[in-house]
Structure 1
Amino acid sequence: MEEDFTTLALGQRPGGRSLITASWVVGHKDGSHRLLPNGEVVFENGEIVFVGHRFPGEVARRIDFGNALISPGFIDLDALSDLDTTVLGIDNHPGWAKGRVWPRSYVDSGPYEMYTQEELAFQKRFAFGQLLLNGITTAAPIASLFYREWGETVAEFDAAADAAGELGLRVYLSPAYRSGGMVLERPGHLVPVFNEERGFQGLNDAVAYIERQSGRHGDLIRGMLAPDRVETSTLALLQRTDAAARDLGCKFRLHMAQGSMEVDTVRMLHGTTAPVWLAGMGLLSERLIAPHATNATQEDLTLYASHGVTIVHCPIVSGRGGSTLNSFSACRKRGINIAMGTDTSPADMLLNLLVGLITCRINDRVPDQVRSADLFDAATLGGARALGRSDLGRLSAGARADIAVFDLDDTVMAPSIDPITTLVTGGSGKVTRAVFVDGRVSMLERKVAGFDMEAARSRAQAQYDGLIAKYPERSWGHPPISEIFSPSYPIEVDAHG
């Protein structure tokens, strides 16, 4: 029987076989995506059983999404999981003067957690809801440690696993840890300060967390080790991380080749770039997922390609800071696997695909080396390949039913051409109509299962304002908020108000 999509129960997995159809379906055949006009997708118990035309079997329901694209859900391997503080640095520079790193005075007075455990749990739930609103079905969370006492905690990640399970989001996670941090000794002068034992303890906690949490919530929860940054990780910590990832059968993510401060620090500590250093220590492999590669040398990229390292491309946050991956098409030609990440607010994967397309063409200085479909592949197949999951990132029989439905009727995108090109060049996450994760309805008509995002928006703003109020404590010279974050234009208030 045919039903209207509004009859789907938010937060529930429909019983029996469900057939969904739309004007376009992104199917998968012979290793690549295929476009199916008026195609059909049938799934049951979280698994896709058919993708094509004219399903011959019985179904419990048939739902037509009309002029829409039924797509594999996006895979975000650097997914924002807090209230984004990088946006504070968009127009406020230099970062060292704006609370982006710890001044010595703050370190000496004793860093502390600037959020309560309840606030840490809330912000992850809110961030996960934002991911679902943007068609993201699998996420590897990332958050800032600048406002933390040191690393992330097991308690907040226990809450994060429950949030993902209750909202219906597939996640790869464990608490981030580090063996050092950058400290501002004087204006413009940053130095690394290490506490290796603290890093080891963080790794041990993360390993125990993965062993305990993996497979929970119907296998929506799996582990990924997350040493925070290469410049503040000691060799011993990374060696133990790689060994643990191998033993656990999981991946580990390490930010490197992403900024001048990191490059300079690693050269000072190890005499070369991070990828060259790690390659010499036998630590580059297919287990490693490495955002962002915007400062990678040609030698670095050659090493990534030869060792099977995945790059996570986050074009919005990189471009906003004045850097780009040089270039997406060149990395693909080298044979480097590229996945996508959002890494900032808004967690809009479609917007990231557009910025990635534009920045690649600017770097290439020609328009014909990259296509919209190449970026779309990175956000689906590239992410699945990085995770070692042939059952994600595609719509084909036997794959998990992780599905996003994008509206093609949006007047801003009219007139439409090819549906992928239309979405990448004119879409945004706001055209996401529905999201299924493991066959469960996790988002429908801008509503997230089990969580009122509109009410949470007010709470998130209040929590964020409370964090900003603490920035003078961790900014050089302790200036007032008005000097740290100046307004775009002078503010005139009502003198009689």
Structure 2
Amino acid sequence: MRTRWRAAHILAHRDGGHALLRDGEIVWEGDTIAYVGTRYDGPVDAELDLGEALVMPGLIDLDALTDIHHLVLDSWAPQETGGGLLWSRAYFTDRRHDVFTPAERATVREYALVQLALHGITTYMPIASEVHSAWAEPYDELVDMARTSRRIGLRGYLGPAYRSGVNVTLPDGSRGVEFDEELGREGLRDAERFLDHTAALADPLVNGVLLPCRIETLTEQLLRETARIARRRDVLVRLHCLQGMHERDLVRELHGTTPLRLLERTGLLDTRLLVPHGIVIDRHPAVHGEDRGDLATLAAADVSVVHCPQTSLRYGQVLHSFDACRRAGVNLCLGTDSFPPDLIRGMDLGVHLAKVVDGRPDAAPAERYVEAATLGGARALGRTDLGRLEAGAQADLVAFRLDDIRDGVQDDPVRTFLLNGTARQATHSVVAGRPVMTDGRIPGTDLVNLRRRAQSLFDRMREAYSERDLHRRGTRELFPPTFPPYEEGRP
């Protein structure tokens, strides 16, 4: 079947980079783009005139929240609340359990994947909190998630997250890591088993990857085994590291070195490695405040840094810096890592944060962030057929409407959209030639019912923090309201 879209603006691809096509057409057949230009004269089976819209390559989110949103709770928490609302040691030792049943976890995953699709994301690599699970992510849960992802039609890079330790609040209120090495080994076995599962599916929309958790929650042996399997099977590895001073301190305490040196020592720099968030390196003000070679090490190892500007800012952090990474040759791609999974808002925040960090208004222009959300993500995945709209590429594309007066007057459509718009303006998307979103809806999904079920599960997740808390405080104390409730009859 041959399909044509027309739009006022198409972010096409030419000579190795994006180029803005006005009043253009894009045609695809099967899963592949056949034509991008202004006057296609061949036959088509279906067509759509999107009018005043911007058609972009499908957005690539490589740290995509596939969970009920927790940042709305813990990004506001003062330090005395308990070090980020972690498990207490007593909970780890005696009481840990799954807050949700497998069926409820399936609802959580569906809710999150639908959110990605509604925000114009076509390719994703998932991230979920393990705080409300008994440990990490079981094999069966990821099998079910892959099934849901295929039904919606997204392109996923999936694997069960695994770890051999968990961050906990110790009895004196400080933070540490408690380990269960057998659970770590079991998790890695499940991860390799899932690689076999995705290979057997032979579905190009489901790709197996290795997703170990945070670097401080993995033993050195588990890191080495991850690197060994990744090299043997030629699969991607994504490992959260270089993301905080607490992580750096714990890694030094546990392993006697820095996180970057630990990556090197365990062989992970010799894999196809993605690192969210890449913030705490030698350039960080709390480390050395200057470049002493860390960016060169990352670039030489072809590591991709998954930059999540919106989430970093919500936790009071920032990349040092976007421009420095680019100049050093580090591949930058993007992630959302929280709700909303809005890469448009994330790109806008990133552009302006970069101005503050580097002290220049042109430190990270809008086009560099758009490239990170498309071409950078494709490079991280090793895919030359993603992140671009040109003949022969995969038909992954998304349309954002630009005709609302609230968007303001328009200069350059891409720059104006990033400054004034949000991903909620997405109306249509296609992955591998198949419609995923149509007129702002996900076919076959009851959004009203899904929203109701997700809210009920979030409320239960929120209540469960009390039993994990070191002092067993109630939710009102853990999560005080912005303002006191209005009481009728009081003066």
Q: Using structure 2 for the length normalisation, give the TM-score.
A: 0.95
Is the Cα–Cα contact under 8 Å of residues 96 and 187 in structure 1 kept in the other structure? no
Matched, 1:479 2:457: no
1:372-383 maps to which residues of 2 (within 5 A)?
Answer: 372-383=366-377
Q: Distance in 2 between matches of 1:159 and 1:66?
A: 38
Residue 237 of structure 1, CA deviation:
0.8
Residue 481 of structure 1, CA deviation:
1.0
Deviations 1:105-144 (A, max 9, x none): 2122231011110111111111010001111000001000
1:9-408 maps to which residues of 2 (within 5 A)?
Answer: 16-94=1-79, 97=82, 100-214=85-199, 216=201, 218-285=203-270, 287-297=272-282, 298=291, 299-408=293-402
Is the Cα–Cα contact under 8 Å of residues 276 and 300 in structure 1 kept in the other structure? no
Q: Distance in 2 between matches of 1:100 and 1:398?
A: 48
Q: Distance in 2 between matches of 1:432 and 1:455?
A: 21
**Structure 2 counterpart of 1:488:** 482
Residue 399 of structure 1, CA deviation:
1.0
Q: Distance in 2 between matches of 1:452 and 1:438?
A: 24
Q: Using structure 1 for the length normalisation, give the TM-score.
A: 0.94
Matched, 1:424 2:418: yes
Pick which of 93-102 and 471-480 moved more: 93-102
Counterpart of 1:441 in 2: which secondary structure?
A: strand
Q: Distance in 2 between matches of 1:369 and 1:480?
A: 45
Q: Distance in 1 between matches of 2:334 and 2:50?
A: 27
Residue 204 of structure 1, CA deviation:
1.0
Residue 98 of structure 1, CA deviation:
6.9
Is the Cα–Cα contact under 8 Å of residues 76 and 341 in structure 1 kept in the other structure? yes
Deviations 1:316-362 (A, max 9, x none): 11111110001111100000000100000111110000111111111
Deviations 1:202-250 (A, max 9, x none): 1111111121124748421001111001001111111111121222221
Counterpart of 1:50 in 2: which secondary structure?
A: strand
Q: Distance in 2 between matches of 1:231 and 1:51?
A: 47
Pick which of 336-345 and 294-303 moved more: 294-303
Q: Residue 169 and residue 283 in structure 1: after superposition, are their counterparts in 2 closer, same or farther (change >3 A)? A: same
Q: CA RMSD in A?
A: 1.6
**Structure 1 residue runs of 4+, over 4 Å off?**
none
Deviations 1:159-180 (A, max 9, x none): 1101111011110001100011
Q: Distance in 1 between matches of 2:263 and 2:208?
A: 22
Aligned AA (2:364):
V
Is the Cα–Cα contact under 8 Å of residues 153 and 175 in structure 1 kept in the other structure? yes
Question: Identity across aligned pairs (percent)?
Answer: 39
Q: Distance in 1 between matches of 2:259 and 2:81?
A: 22
**Structure 2 counterpart of 1:461:** 455
Is the Cα–Cα contact under 8 Å of residues 279 and 320 in structure 2 kept in the other structure? yes
Counterpart of 1:332 in 2: which secondary structure?
A: helix
Aligned AA (2:111):
F
Q: Distance in 2 between matches of 1:414 and 1:463?
A: 38
Residue 254 of structure 1, CA deviation:
0.2
Residue 276 of structure 1, CA deviation:
1.8
Is the Cα–Cα contact under 8 Å of residues 258 and 295 in structure 1 kept in the other structure? yes
Is the Cα–Cα contact under 8 Å of residues 62 and 125 in structure 2 kept in the other structure? yes
Q: Residue 424 and residue 286 in structure 1: after superposition, are their counterparts in 2 closer, same or farther (change >3 A)? A: farther
Unaligned runs of 5+ in 2: 283-290
**Structure 2 counterpart of 1:6:** none
Is the Cα–Cα contact under 8 Å of residues 22 and 66 in structure 1 kept in the other structure? yes
Q: Distance in 2 between matches of 1:96 and 1:269?
A: 25
Pick which of 86-95 and 324-333 moved more: 86-95
Q: Distance in 2 between matches of 1:399 and 1:185?
A: 52
Aligned AA (2:55):
I
**Structure 2 counterpart of 1:10:** none
Q: Distance in 2 between matches of 1:241 and 1:346?
A: 31
Is the Cα–Cα contact under 8 Å of residues 180 and 194 in structure 1 kept in the other structure? yes
Q: Distance in 1 between matches of 2:254 and 2:203?
A: 44
Aligned AA (1:313):
H
Unaligned runs of 5+ in 1: 1-15
Deviations 1:86-114 (A, max 9, x none): 22023222276276211122122231011
Is the Cα–Cα contact under 8 Å of residues 433 and 446 in structure 1 kept in the other structure? yes
